């Protein structure tokens, strides 16, 4: 006859009942705790991203605004092709990070006369939902924590010579987020041709 193995029973348990050991319960609690903590971390990152989304949108709009100004200057022929460069190369656009100012007398963003116009202010309709054009009752956001850089560089052909009718434009908007106190950048890179 074969020897039958007797199952070990815990005191007070019936045959066929099985349960979890204390070690198994502790391991499952540790795994659950790690999962919950990682979910809280993801939730925190999502909240931070949501809070900075308006600042990200403003940075994108400021970069697009500068690019539209460059294209408008070319389209209207207010500036010769030789002027659509940085000041060190004989153009009108200031290199380096500068505060966000209104367009100066020439109407082009990123040139030397912008500082005389003063800081740019973003206005949004107030509680009535109607744009009045003045800060009270509208809500005004000064763009003092933003700065912008316009770099215009020549594009080289396969032999290393500059293509005279094509330039690369890189617009960088740098800003500090109010909630996280971190510096962020939005970079817009494109090309501009001499031809309209």
Residues 64 and 76 in one domain: yes
Residues 64 and 44 in one domain: no
Domain count within the chain: 2
Instruction: Write out pLDDT tens, residues 157-188.
Output: 999 999 999 999 999 999 988 776 788 999 99
Residues 105 and 155 in one domain: yes
Residue 32 belongs to what domain range? 22-51
Residues 47 and 88 in one domain: no
Q: How many CB atoms lie within 10 A of CB 111?
A: 24
Q: What pTM does this model have?
A: 0.72
Residue 107 in any domain: the answer is yes
**What does the pLDDT read at residue 31?**
94
Residues 95 and 168 in one domain: yes
Residue 167 in any domain: the answer is yes
Residues 101 and 28 in one domain: no
Residues 40 and 61 in one domain: no
User: Does 87 have pLDDT greater than 80?
Assistant: yes
Instruction: Write out pLDDT tens, residues 32-78.
Output: 999 999 998 888 777 777 777 888 889 999 999 999 989 988 888 78
Residues 96 and 165 in one domain: yes
Q: Final residue of a domain: which of 33, 51, 69?
A: 51
Residue 33 in any domain: the answer is yes
SS3 assignment for 67-134: HHHHHHHHHCCCCCHHHCCEHHHCCCECCCCEECECCCCCCCCCECCHHHHCECEEEECCCCCCCCCC
Residue 163 in any domain: the answer is yes
Tokens of 36: 């919950």
């Amino acid at each position: 006859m074969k020897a039958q193995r007797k199952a070990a029973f815990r005191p007070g348990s019936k045959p066929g009942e099985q349960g979890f050991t204390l070690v198994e319960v502790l391991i499952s609690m540790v795994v659950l705790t790690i999962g919950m903590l990682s979910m809280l971390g993801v939730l925190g990152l999502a909240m931070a991203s949501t809070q900075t989304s308006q600042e990200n949108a403003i940075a994108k709009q400021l970069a697009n605004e500068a690019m539209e100004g460059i294209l408008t200057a070319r389209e209207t022929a207010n500036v010769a092709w030789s002027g659509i460069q940085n000041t060190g190369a004989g153009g009108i656009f200031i290199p380096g990070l500068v505060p966000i100012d209104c367009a100066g007398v020439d109407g082009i963003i990123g040139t030397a006369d912008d500082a005389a116009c003063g800081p740019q202010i973003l206005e949004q309709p107030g509680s009535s939902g109607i744009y009045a054009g003045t800060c009270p009752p509208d809500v005004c956001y000064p763009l003092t924590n933003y700065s912008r850089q316009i770099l215009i560089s020549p594009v080289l052909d396969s032999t290393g010579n500059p293509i005279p009718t094509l330039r690369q434009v890189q617009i960088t908007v740098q800003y500090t987020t109010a909630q996280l106190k971190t510096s962020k950048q939005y970079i817009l890179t494109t090309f501009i041709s001499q031809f309209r």
